[in-house]
């Protein structure tokens, strides 16, 4: 078991299976099917992300370097949470961008029945060592364990 420490953006505790992206995560392209077409599994629709395309994101520990894409990013994260189609958590190896942070924080405030912990600044080692299918546990203080 390996432990990492990051900065808490949206608090919470969760244990979930990892899905890992080594490239930027385009929130709109990835989650559009879940938001617009009713895909409750939130199957990643971003054809430009070979790590995630076609994989289920809902209920998974989404491990990523950063988000990319348009200014809709924060709204997409909030809407996924409001619809109950969000990842179990979002774990960033790099510092989170302002749009993803805003969407995550708004979701934690406006969707009190939905929990999606968001931790950033976990480091490159985190993203290099975590693999799809690993059991990820997020703790309230920003500690993340992978086994």
The CA-to-CA distance between both ends of the chain, in Å, stands at: 5
Please tell me which residue in 21, 70, 98, 108 is annotated as part of the active site.
70
Cβ neighbors of 45 (< 8 A, separation 6 or more) are 29, 30, 31, 32, 33, 53
DSSP secondary structure string for all residues of 67-127: EES-TTHHHHHHHHHHTT---SEEEESSPPPHHHHHHHHHHHHH-TT----EEE---HHHH
Catalytic (active site) residue 104: no
Residue 87 CA to residue 60 CA, distance in Å, equals 5
Residue 2 CA to residue 93 CA, distance in Å, equals 15
Helix (H) / strand (E) element for 36: namely: helix 27-36
What residues act catalytically? 70
């Amino acid at each position: 078991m390996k432990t990492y420490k990051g900065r808490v953006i949206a608090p919470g505790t969760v244990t979930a299976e990892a899905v890992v992206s080594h490239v930027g995560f385009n929130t709109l392209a990835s989650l559009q099917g879940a938001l617009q077409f009713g895909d409750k599994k939130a199957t990643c629709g971003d054809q430009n992300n070979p790590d995630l395309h076609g994989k289920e994101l809902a209920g998974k520990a989404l491990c990523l370097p950063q988000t990319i894409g348009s200014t809709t990013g924060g709204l997409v994260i909030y809407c996924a949470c409001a619809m109950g189609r969000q990842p179990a958590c979002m774990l960033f190896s790099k510092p989170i961008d302002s749009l993803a942070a805003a969407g995550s924080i708004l979701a934690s405030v406006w969707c009190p029945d939905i929990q999606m912990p968001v931790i950033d600044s976990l480091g490159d080692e985190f993203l290099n060592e975590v693999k799809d299918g690993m059991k990820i546990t997020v703790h309230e203080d920003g500690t993340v364990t992978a086994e």
